[in-house]
Structure 1
Amino acid sequence: MSPSPTAGSWHHVESRQDFAAYLEHLAADCERACTGRATGELPAGRWTNQSVDRFLRGWARLLGHRINGTDLLHEQAPGRPGWQGLAHQLDAARTATPAPVTVGAVPGITSEQVESAEDLRTYVTALAADFDRDRQECLARIRRGGRADDGSGWAHGTLYNWLEAWAAWVGGTSPLHGQLEPVTWRSVALQLSAARIYE
């Protein structure tokens, strides 16, 4: 599926398929920024967070601002981000200042336990720490002569590949897709959980 001409703006996202197309656009734009293969307008300035962990920590910072009332994120209804609100959050997360790296254990929370923006913030922070740990373990395996993907918990090591996987999963068909609408904080966590391992 190639992104539609309007896929480049979160303003045009109204459905799950629109959101999948928007994710595809973000993935392509991120790849151009991260690999230096940009033509015309350089997208790098739109992608200050070019790794999965920095992107997730930027999103966690945004969710924190929403929780404390300093920056209300676009929501379809109170407690329901909607497809457009989720797209808006991802657009902002590209350049948001990342939340500080959590030292020590990050509170564990599963996607099924996410009920609120605060829970999603905890989940996203835990995912960022998990991605960082996974990358460190991957590098250690390589130094020992092993393969990078042996025992890896994340299917993708780059932000743009992870966004592509998220787009493919959201745009596909699965029994779990019935849990995606209406878009709630929990359904967002479910999407993130699936994108982490989807190939």
Structure 2
Amino acid sequence: MTRVHTGNAHRQIVDGQRVRGIGHLRHPVVFGGLIGVVGGAAFLLAGLAGLPAGWQEPLRGLAVVLVGFTLVGVLFRRRILPALPPPTPGALRVYGVAVVVMLLLFPVTHLLARAADAPTAQIALVAAVVGGHFLPFARAFGAPVFRWIGGSMLALGLSGALVAMLGVPAAGPAGAAAAGAAMLLVVVGQALRQGAPGPGDRLRA
């Protein structure tokens, strides 16, 4: 077990042995995974709520299963959690700028949807903006998982918004729901990959 000290506080990070995330909630991979579960579930369920009534009930059941499966994977899958150094000042600056830009773009999504006379496109545009803000994190934090999350959410959100603007209102919420599902799948995929046997039984997050 490796202890990484930060000022007067320290966090215990397990390296080289399989552990369950529920016992290491402060580890960045586990904590980030939980944020992914919350964010993915929010977009998935909010998007489904905007679909025609006949589609909502069966898809909501599948959504609950996916959210539950992802949460179980993050908390209970035995996997290797690598020791990670504290983020650099440069990485923290990238994080701060990305979050500020994301917040500034939220009102723009409303303006774009209104200008296109496609109000249902906004939720998909919001999903795309959230996805886009993850992309710089891949390089800043050395975590390729952000590229998968950000890229999939950006592509699915923009696709849903575009189709909604072309006259298919349900495409907006469908795009947001798909973006949320993609986030959940990437998060649980990371947990499963980290738990799979590998050379030397060591996997990188």
User: Structure 1 length normalisation: TM-score?
Assistant: 0.27
User: Structure 2 length normalisation: TM-score?
Assistant: 0.27
Q: Choose 1 or 2 for highest CA Rg.
A: 2
Higher strand share: 2
Higher helix share: 2
